[in-house]
């Protein structure tokens, strides 16, 4: 299972060059989604913006078969409002990445195929590449 998850995450980066000053973290934690205690995975990739004049943090949230993706401008700080989506499913809310504490905090709403639930969690992160 861990190997398959790692391969799925790597596949998202095949077309993205890793800059020397980028950071790639994998964050995992226990959360409550629709009143069930489950594991949530968030892939965090912070890098130069494609235009070269700022920073972008790309996020990929994985819960079961749901893979939601999006980004926020992290030029000024490592926090922002993010919308992660896939088809009719989405996460919309605040994201705070703390590289010193190796955590990501999420506070927002998760909608999976039309069913909505609040999502508030702090996940522990491991740096995969820095």
Model pTM? 0.82
CA dist 34 and 63 (Å) reads 12
- The per-residue pLDDT for range 91-107, each reduced to its tens digit, is 999 999 999 999 999 99
- DSSP output for 37-55: EEEEEEEEEEEE-TTSSSE
The pLDDT of residue 66 is above 90: yes
Domain ranges of the chain: 22-129
Architecture of domain 22-129: Beta Barrel (2.40)
**Tens of pLDDT along 71-80?**
999 999 999 9
């Amino acid at each position: 299972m861990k190997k398959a998850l790692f391969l799925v995450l790597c596949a998202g980066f095949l077309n993205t060059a890793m800059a020397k000053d980028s950071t790639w973290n994998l964050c995992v934690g226990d959360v409550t989604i629709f009143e069930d205690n489950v594991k949530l995975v968030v892939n965090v990739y912070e890098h130069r913006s494609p235009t070269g004049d700022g920073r972008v943090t790309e996020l990929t949230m994985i819960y079961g078969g749901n893979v939601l993706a999006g980004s926020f401008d992290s030029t000024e700080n490592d926090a922002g409002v993010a919308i992660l989506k896939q088809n009719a499913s989405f996460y919309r809310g605040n994201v705070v990445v703390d590289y010193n504490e190796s955590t990501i905090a999420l506070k927002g709403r998760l909608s999976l195929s039309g069913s909505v639930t609040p999502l508030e969690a702090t996940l522990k992160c491991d740096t995969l590449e820095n």
